[in-house]
Amino acid sequence: MIIVIDGPAGSGKSSTAKKIAELLDIQYLDSGALYRALTFLWLRTEPSDLSKFFEMLPDVKLETEYVHPTFQVKMNGEDITKEIRSQEVANHVSEMAAEPKARSFVNQYMRKLVKHDTYIADGRDLGTAVFPNADLKFYMDASLEERAKRRYRELESIEAHVTFEDVKQNLKERDYKDSNRSADPLKKDDGAILIDTTGKTFDEQISEMVEIIREKSN
Protein backbone atom coordinates (compact mmCIF):
# COMPACT_ATOMS: atom_id res chain seq x y z
CA MET A 1 0.00 0.00 0.00
CA ILE A 2 1.26 3.48 -0.84
CA ILE A 3 -0.17 6.69 0.63
CA VAL A 4 1.06 9.95 -0.89
CA ILE A 5 1.06 13.55 0.33
CA ASP A 6 1.76 16.29 -2.19
CA GLY A 7 1.91 20.03 -1.67
CA PRO A 8 4.16 23.11 -1.74
CA ALA A 9 7.32 23.49 0.34
CA GLY A 10 6.67 24.18 4.01
CA SER A 11 3.07 22.95 4.02
CA GLY A 12 3.90 20.38 6.69
CA LYS A 13 4.08 17.30 4.50
CA SER A 14 7.21 15.75 5.97
CA SER A 15 6.41 16.25 9.65
CA THR A 16 2.87 14.99 9.04
CA ALA A 17 3.97 11.94 7.07
CA LYS A 18 6.56 11.05 9.73
CA LYS A 19 3.99 11.25 12.53
CA ILE A 20 1.46 9.18 10.60
CA ALA A 21 4.15 6.59 9.87
CA GLU A 22 4.88 6.41 13.59
CA LEU A 23 1.22 6.16 14.64
CA LEU A 24 0.31 3.53 12.05
CA ASP A 25 3.65 1.68 12.20
CA ILE A 26 4.36 2.00 8.48
CA GLN A 27 7.39 3.09 6.43
CA TYR A 28 8.14 6.73 5.56
CA LEU A 29 9.63 7.97 2.28
CA ASP A 30 10.84 11.57 1.87
CA SER A 31 11.04 12.24 -1.89
CA GLY A 32 12.26 15.80 -1.32
CA ALA A 33 15.32 14.46 0.48
CA LEU A 34 16.25 12.50 -2.63
CA TYR A 35 16.22 15.64 -4.79
CA ARG A 36 18.14 17.46 -2.07
CA ALA A 37 20.74 14.69 -2.16
CA LEU A 38 21.22 15.10 -5.91
CA THR A 39 21.38 18.87 -5.49
CA PHE A 40 24.02 18.55 -2.77
CA LEU A 41 26.17 16.31 -4.97
CA TRP A 42 25.74 18.63 -7.97
CA LEU A 43 26.80 21.71 -5.99
CA ARG A 44 29.83 19.87 -4.67
CA THR A 45 31.00 18.61 -8.07
CA GLU A 46 30.32 20.55 -11.27
CA PRO A 47 27.62 23.17 -10.59
CA SER A 48 28.45 24.95 -13.85
CA ASP A 49 28.03 21.84 -15.99
CA LEU A 50 24.88 19.77 -15.50
CA SER A 51 25.72 17.50 -18.43
CA LYS A 52 28.81 16.17 -16.59
CA PHE A 53 26.72 15.63 -13.48
CA PHE A 54 24.16 13.52 -15.34
CA GLU A 55 26.94 11.48 -16.96
CA MET A 56 28.07 10.37 -13.50
CA LEU A 57 24.55 9.93 -12.07
CA PRO A 58 24.09 6.25 -13.13
CA ASP A 59 27.09 5.35 -10.95
CA VAL A 60 25.74 7.12 -7.86
CA LYS A 61 24.71 4.76 -5.06
CA LEU A 62 21.80 6.16 -3.06
CA GLU A 63 20.76 4.59 0.24
CA THR A 64 17.92 5.71 2.51
CA GLU A 65 16.47 4.54 5.79
CA TYR A 66 13.85 6.01 8.08
CA VAL A 67 14.93 5.77 11.71
CA HIS A 68 12.33 7.76 13.64
CA PRO A 69 12.38 10.74 13.56
CA THR A 70 15.03 11.13 10.84
CA PHE A 71 14.99 10.16 7.16
CA GLN A 72 18.62 9.20 6.71
CA VAL A 73 20.35 9.57 3.34
CA LYS A 74 23.69 8.17 2.22
CA MET A 75 25.29 8.84 -1.12
CA ASN A 76 28.18 6.63 -2.21
CA GLY A 77 28.49 5.51 1.42
CA GLU A 78 28.67 9.05 2.87
CA ASP A 79 25.99 10.15 5.34
CA ILE A 80 24.67 13.48 4.02
CA THR A 81 21.48 13.62 6.11
CA LYS A 82 22.35 16.94 7.75
CA GLU A 83 24.09 18.56 4.78
CA ILE A 84 21.08 18.28 2.46
CA ARG A 85 18.99 20.49 4.80
CA SER A 86 21.16 23.59 4.29
CA GLN A 87 19.73 26.79 2.82
CA GLU A 88 22.19 26.58 -0.08
CA VAL A 89 20.69 23.25 -1.12
CA ALA A 90 17.17 24.65 -0.63
CA ASN A 91 18.02 27.55 -2.94
CA HIS A 92 18.84 25.19 -5.82
CA VAL A 93 16.71 22.08 -5.27
CA SER A 94 13.90 23.30 -7.57
CA GLU A 95 16.43 23.56 -10.42
CA MET A 96 17.43 19.94 -9.92
CA ALA A 97 13.83 18.78 -9.54
CA ALA A 98 12.99 20.37 -12.89
CA GLU A 99 15.55 18.20 -14.72
CA PRO A 100 13.93 15.16 -16.44
CA LYS A 101 17.02 12.98 -15.87
CA ALA A 102 17.00 13.77 -12.16
CA ARG A 103 13.29 13.00 -11.96
CA SER A 104 13.76 9.70 -13.76
CA PHE A 105 16.53 8.70 -11.34
CA VAL A 106 14.51 9.58 -8.23
CA ASN A 107 11.25 8.11 -9.51
CA GLN A 108 12.87 4.78 -10.37
CA TYR A 109 14.44 4.64 -6.93
CA MET A 110 11.11 5.30 -5.18
CA ARG A 111 9.08 2.87 -7.28
CA LYS A 112 11.55 0.11 -6.58
CA LEU A 113 11.63 0.91 -2.86
CA VAL A 114 7.86 0.70 -2.27
CA LYS A 115 7.32 -2.65 -3.97
CA HIS A 116 7.27 -4.23 -0.54
CA ASP A 117 5.65 -3.06 2.71
CA THR A 118 3.30 -0.12 3.33
CA TYR A 119 4.66 3.37 2.79
CA ILE A 120 3.58 6.95 3.27
CA ALA A 121 5.52 9.35 1.05
CA ASP A 122 5.54 13.12 0.61
CA GLY A 123 6.57 15.26 -2.34
CA ARG A 124 5.37 17.49 -5.16
CA ASP A 125 4.11 15.17 -7.89
CA LEU A 126 3.70 11.77 -6.25
CA GLY A 127 -0.03 11.48 -6.86
CA THR A 128 0.07 12.93 -10.37
CA ALA A 129 3.24 11.41 -11.85
CA VAL A 130 5.14 8.98 -9.65
CA PHE A 131 2.32 6.95 -8.09
CA PRO A 132 -0.81 7.79 -10.13
CA ASN A 133 -2.45 4.61 -8.80
CA ALA A 134 -1.66 5.32 -5.15
CA ASP A 135 -4.12 3.83 -2.68
CA LEU A 136 -4.74 7.21 -1.06
CA LYS A 137 -3.75 10.73 -2.08
CA PHE A 138 -3.59 13.90 0.01
CA TYR A 139 -2.72 17.45 -1.03
CA MET A 140 -1.55 19.63 1.86
CA ASP A 141 -1.41 23.41 1.67
CA ALA A 142 -1.09 26.49 3.88
CA SER A 143 -0.59 30.22 3.42
CA LEU A 144 2.87 31.41 2.36
CA GLU A 145 3.28 33.28 5.66
CA GLU A 146 2.54 30.21 7.74
CA ARG A 147 4.76 27.96 5.64
CA ALA A 148 7.64 30.43 5.94
CA LYS A 149 7.28 30.54 9.74
CA ARG A 150 7.46 26.75 9.93
CA ARG A 151 10.51 26.49 7.69
CA TYR A 152 12.28 29.33 9.51
CA ARG A 153 11.82 27.52 12.84
CA GLU A 154 13.39 24.42 11.28
CA LEU A 155 16.44 26.35 10.04
CA GLU A 156 17.07 28.57 13.07
CA SER A 157 19.10 25.95 14.91
CA ILE A 158 21.03 24.91 11.78
CA GLU A 159 21.87 28.24 10.12
CA ALA A 160 21.85 31.22 12.48
CA HIS A 161 22.43 33.75 9.67
CA VAL A 162 19.20 32.88 7.82
CA THR A 163 16.41 35.44 8.18
CA PHE A 164 12.64 34.97 8.01
CA GLU A 165 12.47 37.12 4.88
CA ASP A 166 15.13 34.96 3.20
CA VAL A 167 13.06 31.85 3.91
CA LYS A 168 9.82 33.45 2.76
CA GLN A 169 11.36 34.64 -0.51
CA ASN A 170 12.90 31.21 -1.11
CA LEU A 171 9.51 29.52 -0.66
CA LYS A 172 7.83 32.02 -2.97
CA GLU A 173 10.41 31.35 -5.68
CA ARG A 174 10.17 27.58 -5.18
CA ASP A 175 6.37 27.73 -5.47
CA TYR A 176 6.70 29.44 -8.83
CA LYS A 177 9.38 27.10 -10.15
CA ASP A 178 7.63 23.95 -8.92
CA SER A 179 4.27 25.00 -10.38
CA ASN A 180 5.66 26.13 -13.73
CA ARG A 181 8.30 23.52 -14.55
CA SER A 182 7.71 21.59 -17.75
CA ALA A 183 8.39 18.18 -16.17
CA ASP A 184 5.64 17.08 -13.76
CA PRO A 185 4.70 20.47 -12.26
CA LEU A 186 3.27 20.80 -8.77
CA LYS A 187 -0.52 20.53 -8.88
CA LYS A 188 -3.33 18.87 -6.97
CA ASP A 189 -4.41 15.54 -8.39
CA ASP A 190 -8.14 15.38 -9.10
CA GLY A 191 -8.46 12.43 -6.74
CA ALA A 192 -6.45 13.94 -3.89
CA ILE A 193 -8.04 15.01 -0.62
CA LEU A 194 -7.23 18.65 0.17
CA ILE A 195 -5.88 19.30 3.68
CA ASP A 196 -5.50 23.04 4.32
CA THR A 197 -3.40 23.35 7.48
CA THR A 198 -3.62 27.14 7.81
CA GLY A 199 -4.77 27.83 11.36
CA LYS A 200 -4.83 24.15 12.32
CA THR A 201 -2.74 22.62 15.06
CA PHE A 202 -0.44 19.76 14.20
CA ASP A 203 -2.55 17.34 16.23
CA GLU A 204 -5.71 18.44 14.41
CA GLN A 205 -4.33 17.76 10.96
CA ILE A 206 -2.85 14.43 12.06
CA SER A 207 -6.17 13.28 13.55
CA GLU A 208 -8.04 14.26 10.40
CA MET A 209 -5.72 12.36 8.09
CA VAL A 210 -5.31 9.26 10.28
CA GLU A 211 -9.08 8.92 10.45
CA ILE A 212 -9.30 9.03 6.65
CA ILE A 213 -6.51 6.45 6.28
CA ARG A 214 -8.13 4.08 8.77
CA GLU A 215 -11.46 4.36 7.00
CA LYS A 216 -9.76 3.59 3.68
CA SER A 217 -7.93 0.60 5.16
CA ASN A 218 -11.05 -1.03 6.56
Question: Which pLDDT band, with edges at 50, 70 and 90, does 165 fall under?
Answer: very high
Task: Lay out the sheet containing 62-67: strands in order across.
Answer: 62-67, 70-75, 78-79
**Do 8 and 186 meet the contact criterion of CB atoms below 8 Å apart?**
yes
Residues facing residue 72 across a β-bridge? 65
* Domains of the chain, each with CATH number or no CATH: 2-203 (3.40.50.300)
pLDDT score of 46 more than 80:
no
The tens digit of pLDDT for each residue in 123-150 reads 888 999 999 999 999 999 999 999 999 8
Task: State the Cα–Cα distance between residues 140 and 162, nearest whole angstrom.
Answer: 25
H-state helical runs in the chain:
13-24, 31-44, 50-56, 87-97, 100-113, 144-156, 164-180, 202-217
pLDDT score of 218 more than 80:
no
Contacts of 4 (CB under 8 A, 6+ apart): 120, 121, 122, 123, 126, 127, 130, 131, 134, 136, 137, 138
The reported pLDDT for the residue numbered 52 is 86
Question: Which pLDDT band, with edges at 50, 70 and 90, does 184 fall under?
Answer: confident
Distance of CA 116 to the CA centre of its chain: 20
Question: Which pLDDT band, with edges at 50, 70 and 90, does 161 fall under?
Answer: confident
Q: At what angle do helices 144-156 and 164-180 cross, to 10 degrees?
A: 120
The reported pLDDT for the residue numbered 80 is 97
The reported pLDDT for the residue numbered 124 is 87
User: What value, to the nearest 5°, has the Cα angle with vertex 111 and ends 108 and 113?
Assistant: 105
To the nearest whole percent, how much of the chain has pLDDT over 70? 100
Q: Which residue has the higher pLDDT, 184 or 164?
A: 164
Average pLDDT over residues 3-12: 92
The reported pLDDT for the residue numbered 182 is 83
Q: Mean pLDDT score of the chain, rounded to an integer? A: 91
The reported pLDDT for the residue numbered 199 is 87
The reported pLDDT for the residue numbered 45 is 85
pLDDT score of 48 more than 80:
no
78-79 and 70-75: which strand pairing? antiparallel
Average pLDDT over residues 188-196: 95
pLDDT score of 33 more than 90:
yes
pLDDT score of 47 more than 90:
no
The reported pLDDT for the residue numbered 51 is 86
Contacts of 3 (CB under 8 A, 6+ apart): 20, 26, 118, 119, 120, 121, 134, 135, 136, 137, 138, 213
